[in-house]
Structures are given as C-alpha cells and as structure tokens.
Structure 1
Amino acid sequence: MPNIAKALREEITRLARKEIRASLLKSKSALALQHREIAKLKAEVIALKRQVGVLERGVKRDEKGTPAGSAPKQVRFVPKGLAPTRKRLGLSAAALAKMMGVSTQTIYNWERGVTKPRPEQVEKLASLRGVGKREVQARLATV
C-alpha cells in the first residue's frame, strides 16, 4: 500500500505542477505584454515632455521679445536715418507726410529727434526701408 500512496502523491504533485506551469505561462505572457506597453508609454511621455519644453522655451522667448498686443518684431526708430532714407527714395517731407498721414512739420520733428513716431508709424517707416523709388511713387499715387 505504501507504494500506491506514494505513486498517488507523486501523480498529484506532477499534475499540480503542470497546472501551475500552464497558469504561470499565461501570467508571464500577460506580464511581458504589460512591460512592453509600459515601455512604450514611458517613451511617449519622454517625447511629450520634450515637446512641452520646446514650446515653453518658445513662449518664454515670445514673452521676452514682444510685449502683449504689439507687433511680433520690434523695429527701432533712429532719427538720423530718416532724412537719408527720404532722400534716397526721392521724397520730399510733404510727400512722406502724405504717405504717413501726418503733417510736414511732424516729419521734420522726427528727423531732428524732437518727437518720435507712434509704433504703427514706425512700422510704416520700416516698410519703406526695403523698397525702391518706383514702388514708393506707386504707393504715393494710391494715397
């Protein structure tokens, strides 16, 4: 009898191990799948953090560079550069005043540095920097 009991015990142990192996195999494959998913999510989080960093740096640059509500690019106005630009384009002070929508005296005051143009007028003056005489004459004809 002891042999039957021993054989029965060994068979039960063998079957139990077999069942455990089968259930562990399912668990291991599920665990491996979860590990891959977690690794993919971590990589995605890292990529998103990089994008956020880039965007934050862009926002900080915008905040530093331009005040709220103004043009994205600041244009400097230098009074001593206005008269040579006006002469290069072949414009009289009266013609430039007509284009800018101000008086002739205002143009002279800008040239001497007595007053400064408003930001929208500085933008108009800056747009004259890269144009030639013909284009300025065409603009003057439309005003």
Structure 2
Amino acid sequence: MPNIGSVLKSEIQRVARKELRAETQQLKKTVAQYRGQIAELKRRLQALEQQVRRQARGSGRAAATVSDEGADDDSPALRFSAKGLAAQRKRLGLSAAAVAKLLGVSALSVYKWESGKTRPRARQLEAIASLRKLGKREAMARLAA
C-alpha cells in the first residue's frame, strides 16, 4: 500500500501541471497574436518604404527636368545604363558587333559598356540615345546600307 505522503505529492504535481498547462496555453495564444501583429506591421513598413522610394525617384526626375530646363546649353543630359544598353540591343535583336557597327565603335567597346567596365564618351552617348528611337527594321536597314 502506497504511503499517503507519496500519494499526496503525486496529486499536487498533477494539479500543478494542469494549472501550468492552462497558463501556458493562454501565453501561447497571446504570443501568436503578437507575432501576427508584428508580421502585419512589417508588411506595412515594407509597403511604405517602397512608396517612399518611388516618390523619391519621381521627385529626383522632376528635379532633373527642372535643372535641365534652366540650363543654357543645348545638349540634353543623357544617362547611361549598362543593363539598358544590353536590353536595347536584345530588343533590336542585334549582336554586340552589329550594334558596334551602327554606333561606329568596336565590338569590344560595346562589350565593355554592357559589362559595366567602362562608360561611353559624350559623343557615343548621343549615338546610343539614337538607338532608342530605332526599330528592328530600321536597324537592319542601316546595317545593310
């Protein structure tokens, strides 16, 4: 026959575990709610940061156009992007050598521009800008001529 002390001790432990389980369940629910709220706040923060970046880019463009209008020189401010040149070349369906022939430079120059190793000079930037206005047919016609 078990000792009454050991029976009492085991019963106290069982009741204590039951109480703790109830308390921890409530804490788990609260933690889950907080995690959901944190995730929602992170999503809102990310959306707001994207909106700020978009507006900053837009205001940068507006400032650039205002400064261009105030300039006295006739040359427009041309931007260059290595990815943009590669995309333009692919849009026209041309090889780097064909683009080089259109621009009057070497194929290696076009390769270096697209890889970002070098930047074209101002005169070459104007020729690259004129590529944006060409269609596939017109580019092929210029190459054939």
TM-score (norm 2): 0.49
TM-score (norm 1): 0.50
Quick check: which has more Rg, 1 or 2? Answer: 1
